[in-house]
């Protein structure tokens, strides 16, 4: 199984679809030019880490920060996404900070966990409304939060902590059993 199939399977497992931007990025990582250093800036990586940790917080399993999902997001955006998609994410991060300043009078990274969740919930509702709009056309850019959520989930569940601690993992699987009973609340299988 190649990485693209694995990522698609993770998306299906999580009950979500992958946007066209992310799917086209998974076609193959062909750098479009020099790195976008704005993505590698410490303040960008810090806000990406906070967004990812808000989406997948540390509980009884490691969170997105422990899985270094922010580094995965930066790598994927730089190596696999078109410059216009990179700019879409950077502009979205700017909008998120502006909304944070407007609502809480401080940058996103300085908010409490509850405030971050509240703000990202509002952004996610905006993303859903954006995707459901009537005048949506084929080829329209994805919402920046769609890209960030997809990369967060992909980065986490394909990382060692995500695959081995959040999912059930057997490093050397035994025989194939097609029908294994599943009890609600159990972890899903990593492989």
pLDDT in tens, 67-105: 999 999 999 999 999 999 999 999 999 999 999 999 999
- Least trusted range by pLDDT, from 75-79, 115-119, 134-138: 134-138
Please give the radius of gyration of the chain, using alpha carbons only, rounded to the nearest integer. Answer: 17
Q: Check residue 178 and give its pLDDT.
A: 75
Tell me, what's the pLDDT at 98? 97
Tell me the mean pLDDT in the region 140-154. Answer: 94
**What is the pLDDT at residue 13?**
57
- The DSSP output letter for 133 is -
What pLDDT band is residue 32 in, cutting at 50, 70 and 90? low
Q: How far, in Å, are 16, 72, 94 from residue 65 at the CA level?
A: 22, 11, 21
SS3 assignment for the chain? CCHHHHHHHHHHHCCCCCCHHHHHHHCCCCCCCCCCHHHHCHHHHHHHHHHHHHHCCCCCCCCCCCCCHHHHHHHHHHHHCCHHHHHHHHHHHHHHHHHHHHHHCCCHHHCCHHHHHHHHHHHHHHHHHHHHCCCCCCCCCCCHHHHHHHHHHHHHHCCHHHHHHHCECCCCCCCCCCCCCCCCCCCCECC
Mean pLDDT of the chain: 85
Which one is predicted more confidently, 1 or 116? 116
Is residue 37 very low, low, confident or very high in pLDDT (cuts 50, 70, 90)? confident
Would you place residue 29 in the very low, low, confident or very high pLDDT band (cuts 50, 70, 90)? low
């Amino acid at each position: 199984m190649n990485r693209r199939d694995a990522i698609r399977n993770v998306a299906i497992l999580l009950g979500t679809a992958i946007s066209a931007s992310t799917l086209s990025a998974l076609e193959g990582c062909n750098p479009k030019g020099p790195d976008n250093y704005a993505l590698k800036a410490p303040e960008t990586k810090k806000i990406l880490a906070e967004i990812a940790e808000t989406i997948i917080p540390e509980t009884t399993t490691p969170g997105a920060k422990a899985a270094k999902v922010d580094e995965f997001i930066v790598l994927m955006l730089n190596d696999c996404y078109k410059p216009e998609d990179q700019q879409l994410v950077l502009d979205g991060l700017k909008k998120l900070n502006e909304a944070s300043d407007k609502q809480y009078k401080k940058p996103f990274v300085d908010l409490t966990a509850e405030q971050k969740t509240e703000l990202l919930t509002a952004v996610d509702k905006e993303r859903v409304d954006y995707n459901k709009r009537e005048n949506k056309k084929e080829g329209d850019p994805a919402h920046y939060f769609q890209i960030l959520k997809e990369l967060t989930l992909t980065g986490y569940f394909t990382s060692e902590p995500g695959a081995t601690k959040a999912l059930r993992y057997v490093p050397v699987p035994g025989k194939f059993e097609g029908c294994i009973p599943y009890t609600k609340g159990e972890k899903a299988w990593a492989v």
